[in-house]
Structure 1
């Protein structure tokens, strides 16, 4: 499956714990990555500064669904389900 251009659900819905240029501590879930352009494209796509977690993420029907909104909902759910439990 190819990514839907401009979707950016994976750049907003999920947390990223590794450093991102402009976000030294990564980013929490639900926060827009500073590297997203106005048209929701990755500003560091193909650059060595792009975190490995981003480069390794591959679009799939299970993850992305049929619409951008569905992708955001699915990724938000996955993030919530895999988040460490609070003591």
Structure 2
């Protein structure tokens, strides 16, 4: 599955415990990453400053669903189940 450009669910729903430029302590679940632009695209995509956890994320139907709204719901549910 290819990532749906402009979705942004993976940059909003999960917690990220590693440093992100502008967010040195990472980000809590449900908080929008500071590096997510107005079009829901990562400003760090392809740059070495992008956290490994973000670089390693792969869009799959079971995590991202069929819509952006479903992706937020699924990733939020996964976050709650693994916290």
Give the structure 2 partner of residue 14 of structure 1.
14
1:5 alignment partner, SS class: coil
- Counterpart in 2 of 1:47? 47
Q: How far is the alpha carbon of 1:69 from its aligned partner?
A: 0.4
- Runs of 4+ with >6 A deviation: none
Residue deviations 1:14-73 (CA, integer Å, cap 9, x gap): 000000000000000000000001100000000000000000000000000000000000
- In structure 2, stretches of 5+ residues that fail to align are none
Number of equivalent positions? 83
Q: Name the TM-score, length of structure 2 as normaliser.
A: 0.99
- Residue 29 (structure 2) pairs with residue 4 (structure 1): no
In 1: Cα distance, 2:18 partner to 2:44 partner = 15
Greater C-alpha Rg: 1
Residue 67, structure 1, aligned to residue 46, structure 2: no
1:3 Cα shift?
Answer: 0.5
- If the length of structure 1 is used for normalisation, what is the TM-score? 0.95
